[in-house]
Structure 1
Amino acid sequence: MRTQLVRWGTVLVAAGLVAVPGQQVRVVSTLDVAMKVERDGRLSVTETVSVPPGREISRVTSLREPVDGDRERRYRVRDAVVTGSGSADVTEDELRTTISGNATVTYTVDGAVAELPHRQEVRWQVADGWDTELAEVRASFVAPVQRASPITCLAGPPGSGRQCGLAEVDHTGVVRAEHSPLAAGERMVLAVGLPTATVTANAAFVSAGLGWPWLLALSLACLLALALVAGGIVVLLARRRDAQAFGVAEPVEVLLRDGDRVRFSSPDGVLPGQIGTVMDGVVDVVDISATVLDLVVRRYLDVRPDGEGARELVQLNAPGPELHDYEQTVLATLLPGEERVLSLSRLRGRDLDLTPVIDAMYDDAVRQGWFSRRPDRGRGLLPPRTARGRLLAGQVRGLLNYLHSVRPADIPAADRELVFTRSLPYAAVLGGVERWVATFAEDERLAGRGSDLAAFLVELNGLLAESEHLRNR
C-alpha cells in the first residue's frame, strides 16, 4: 500500500495536481487508452488525453507497419470522434489528432487481430507519433475471454525492444500496461495473445510494392542472373545481420523498479528454454534442462532427495493453459500419465524419447515470431530469424551483461530471493550458473539453494544427453 501511495503521489505532483513547497511544478500531458476487442474482430479504442491549459499537442500515427522483408501490415481506423477540445482526421495511411485541454478520442480499428500458429494476437499502437512528452501512458485491454497470453508491451523509439514499465493481467482478467515517461516521437505498442478462434481475425499483410516497371523489359536470362545475384546478397546481408545480433548487446531493462521494489523481467518475455534456440537455431539438451529448472523455480516441480541418496522430481502444481506447449510436453515426457514423481536414478540408461519436446520447442520459436520457419529445416538457406528474433538475440546479450554485472546490493533485500531464483535458469542456459551462485555467496541460504539446483542441473543434463545418445546410436 505504501508503494502505491508513493507512486500515485509522484504522478499527482508530476501532473500539477499537488504543489510542492519551494518547487516549480512541471505541468505535463498524460494519456489513458482503453481497448476492447469484439467477437467480430473490431478493436474499440477510447483515449483520454489530459493537456495543460493553454497547450496544444498533436500526433500522427501511421496505419502502415513494416513487418519483415518487403511486407507491411495495414490497419484501418474509422468512426473517429473527439469529445472536448480537439480534432481527429483519418486517411488511408494516417490517424491525425490535435488536442488542447482535456479531451476523449474514440475510434474503431480494423486489422488488429492476426491469426498465428496455435493462437491469435491483437496488436495496436497505444501511443505513437505524439509531438510532446507524455508523463504517463496507461492502457487497458479487454477480450471476450480471460486467457490473455503472451503479453508484449514495448515502449521507446520506433524499432526498439525496450519493454514497458508494467504489463500484466489483473485479478479481473483485464490486461493493464503502463509506461512513463514517453518522449516525443516515441511509441508504445501492446500485443496480446488469445486462444485460437476467440475472435474474427482481420489482419491485412500486403507487399510494400516497389514497382520497377523497367524490369519487365529485361530478358529472361538477365532476370535470372539478377535474381541469383540479389539472392546471394540477401543471404549475405541476412547472415551479417544475424552475426551483428550476436556481437552487439542491445540495452535491456532486466530489473524493473516500482518505488523501492524491483522485479525480474526477461526481454520480450523470453523463457530460459527458448533462449538457446533464438541464439543458435538449435534445440540442445541444456535448453530442455533449463526448462525443467525454470518449472522448478515457478513451483510446478520440486527437487527433493528420494531417501536413497538420489534426487527426484515431484510435481507440485498441475500445468494449466498458462504454460507453453513445449513446457506441457516436457512435463508429459518426464511424468507421463498419472505419474507425479520421477527419481533421476530411473533415467540412467533409459531410452527417453525427447523428439516431441524438441519438435515443440522449434514450433514455439516460430509461434513467438522469432523465426519465419523452423530453423532445423532447410539449413544452409536464408537464415529464418526475423527482425524481432535478431533484436531479441541482441537483447539476450544484454541479459548476459546483467548476469555478469548485477550485485546483491542492487536488489532490495525483500526482493533478493525472488530475483535470484528467477534469474538462475537464465544463468544456467547461458553457461553462467556457477558465477551467478558465487555472486550471492555471502547469503548462505541463497547460495546453498543455488548450489543444490546447479548440481541437480548438471545431473539432469548428463542423464538427458545419455538418453539422446542411446536413442540415436
Structure 2
Amino acid sequence: MLTKWGIAAGLVVAGITIAGQPTFSPPPNAPTFDFPLPTPGQPTGGPIIVPRPPTGEVRPTRPPGVPVVLPRSVNIQLKLERDGSVSVVEQVIVQAKSTMTRTAPLRVGDRVFTVSDPKVDGNGTASVTGDQLVIKLGEGASTVSYKLDGAIADLGDRLQFRWQVASGWDTKLVFLRASLLTPKPGYDFVCLAGAPNTEERCDSAVTDAAGILRVLHSDLDTGARVDVTATLDAGLVPATAKFDSGVAGTGPFALTPLSGGGLGLVLLLLIGGFAVVLTARGRDTRALAAEGAPVDVLVGQGERVVFASPDGILPGQAGTVIDERVDPRDLTATVVDLAVRNYLWITEAGPDWQIVRRNAPDDALTAYERAVYDALLPEGTDAVTVSALRSTPPRVAGAQSAVYADAVSRSWLSRRPGGLGKVGIIGAAVAVVGAAVTVALALSGGPALLGVAVVIGGIGLLLGARLLPARTKRGGLLLQQVRGLHGYLRAARPDRVPVADREMVFSRSLPYAVALDETKQWLERNAQTMSAGLYWYAAQEPRFDPRRFADRFPALVDELDAVFGKR
C-alpha cells in the first residue's frame, strides 16, 4: 500500500506541475527516456521515501510509457560500468526563449570527482573548467552525456556510490527524474534534495523489480542539489573514489590555482623583503663597527678659518644619529648651540646660572631648536635660572618628536625609532584591506585565500619595517662622518687655528663636544686660549678665568641634563 501511495504522490506532483506551466511543444525529434514505474501490486526492491498521503486522497496516475516532457525538467540515466566508471546521460528541456546553465562542483568536501568526454546533442555546450562541470543549454531539448569517475568509495566490507545528479542549476527545476543501473542491485538508498548540507529527502526514491533505483523530485530550487547514495556489495566494481584532505573543498578557502598563485607570489615577496632586511641590518652593523675616517671640519675662507659640521648636522642631531635616540644630552647641546649662535645668553648667578633671551627665534632655526627655545623661555619670559628649571622642568616631548622628524626629513633615519614609519604604515593598511577583502570574498563564496595572501603580505611589511634599522644608508655614512668629527675633537690643537678665529672655532665646536660626551677633554685642551672671554657666556668675576670656566661649565651641562632628564 505504501508503494502505491508513493508512486501516486510522485505522479501527482508531476501532474500538478505540468498544469501550472506554460504550453511547451518539444520538437518532433526530442529525445525521451523510458522511465517505467512499478504497477500496483508489483514488488519493489527498496522503500519509497515520500510522506504518506492523507487517508482517502486519490492521486491521478499516468499511463505507462508516457514520458513527462515539460520546460525546466531533467531526465537523468546513470549506468555503473564494470570498471567503476559511470556513464551519465541527461535530457534537459529548456523553456522557449530561455537558457539554462549548470555549474556542478567536482569537489564535494574532500571528495574529488572527475568528468571526461562531455558532449551535448542539441542546443548547447558542456565542458570541464577547473573543479567544475559547466553545461550551458539554449531553448529546446538537449541531451548531455559524459563519463564520471570517483563515484565508488571503498567502505571495507561494502562499496558506496555517490553523485549529485543535479546541482548548480541557475534556474529552478520543475521536475527531475533519475535512474541508477548497477551490475547487481544495490540497497540502503538515500536521496537528499535541497541546499547543500541539508537533510531534506527527495520526493520519491524507489527500486523496481529489476533493482534499478528510480528518483522523482519536483520544484528543486536554484542552486540546490539532488545527492544520491547507494550501498553495493564489496568487490562488485573497482573503487574509484579520490579524496584530498589537504584541500578544504570548494569553499572560499579552497586552495585553487588562483589562490595558490597569490600565496606563492606573496611568499616570493616575503623572501625578497627578508633579503632586503638582512642587507640593511648588515650594512648598519658594519657602519656601527667601522672606525670613523678623519674629517676636517675647519674650512678656510681666505685668511680666516671657520668651523663646518659634516652634512650640516647640528649638535642635537649628532647624538641621535649615533644611537637613534634623543637623550637629555642632545637637548643640552642644543641649548649651548643656541647660545653660541646668539639666540640665548648664559650668565653665572652665584652657584646657579641664568639663561636669558637674546634674540627671538627666526627662520634660521629648525623646528626642534625652536621647540627647545620655547620650552626654556615661553612667550613673555625673558630669563630663567637653571635651578628654576629643575624645580619646574620644561615639557620637551615636542622637541624630541621634532628632532626625529627632522632626521627623517633629511633621510638620516627612515622612521622614528620604535615607530612604524612609512613602510610600516603601508603594511598595516594593506593588512586591514586584506582582512576586509577576505571577509567579503568569504561571504560571497569567492577565493578568500587571495585576501589571506594580502593580509600576510601586509603583516610581512609591518614586521619588516620594525626589523629594518631606523638609520638609512645616508645616515650610516653620516655616522662615519660624526665619528670623524669626534676624532677631530679628541685630536684638535688650538695652534692650528689663527688667533683671531679661535674664539669662534672653539665656541662652535663646544656644543658638538657636549653632544659627543667630550666636554671636559675639549675644555682642558682649548679653554686656556679663551683668556679674553666668550661672547655668549658671562662669568661672575670681572675678569674671565679660562681655568675656572673649564671647571664650572661641565657642572652646567650636568644641571641641564638633569633638567631634561626629569621630563
* Length-normalised TM-score, structure 1: 0.50
Q: TM-score, normalised by structure 2?
A: 0.42
Q: Indicate the structure with greater strand content.
A: 1
Bigger radius of gyration among the two:
2
